[in-house]
Amino acid sequence: MSGFVSFVSSGPGDPELLTLKAADRLRHADVVLYDDLSAGPILDFARPEADLISVGKRAGRASPRQDHVSRLLADHAQAGSRVVRLKSGDAGLFGRLEEEIMVLRAAGIAFEIIPGVTAPTAAAAAAGIPLTRRIAARRVQFVTGHDVTGALPEGLNWAALADAAAVTAVFMARGTFPDLAEQLIAHGLPPETPALLAQGVSTPAEMMHRDSVGGLADSLRGGRPDNAPTLILYGALSE
């Protein structure tokens, strides 16, 4: 008899930000496949008998292939296990969720998706700012800072991203932000536009740095690689 897969969003790192449903699925799982950013105290919610399998991907480190991770999900579910695929932040945001769902659907395996607190909402809360402002910030937009090669993605909507009246959240942004900022400024974004670098949000290693888009790009250009989870917000941020 086939098992069941729960894609569980672990939030940005603080176990107190887990939803009740996420904690329940962890408590009842037979197998937990978890990302690096979902490790630590969040795994304490899993029952002692559960098999915990690390399948995390981090820039610059050896990582399991995506097809291997998807196959593990299907294999454990087909063996009748209750499987939790634990993803950091919200599972539907830049987390390769689609690839894993496609494998489960092809195998006829039932699944559910449990949403969670996103890194941008957690970062804004930690910084004491809203993501939207009634008049000044007319929308929020999320974009990834790099593609599968680690470079700045192609085909970005520069007119939208250079809109200073929006709040833009750039995931996995540290390495490519200087190049991104150069393009943003070239497409009309004022270099003095407020920016916030958020690292290790909601964890003991949390660090917030306020700057301008131009200033932050200058400070990151030529800097040493840093694998810490980093998010950058810029645009109509309140003081």
Residue of 35, 87, 90, 163 marked catalytic: 35
Give the C-alpha separation, 196 to 186, whole Å. 20
Give the C-alpha separation, 75 to 93, whole Å. 25
Q: What is the crossing angle of helices 213-220 and 177-186, to 10°?
A: 150
57 is catalytic: yes
Residue of 21, 24, 36, 57 marked catalytic: 57
67 is catalytic: no
Give the C-alpha separation, 237 to 216, whole Å. 15
Burial (CB count <10 Å: 0-12, 13-18, 19+), residue 144: middle
Q: Is 14 helix (H, G, I), strand (E, B) or coil?
A: coil
Active site residues: 35, 57
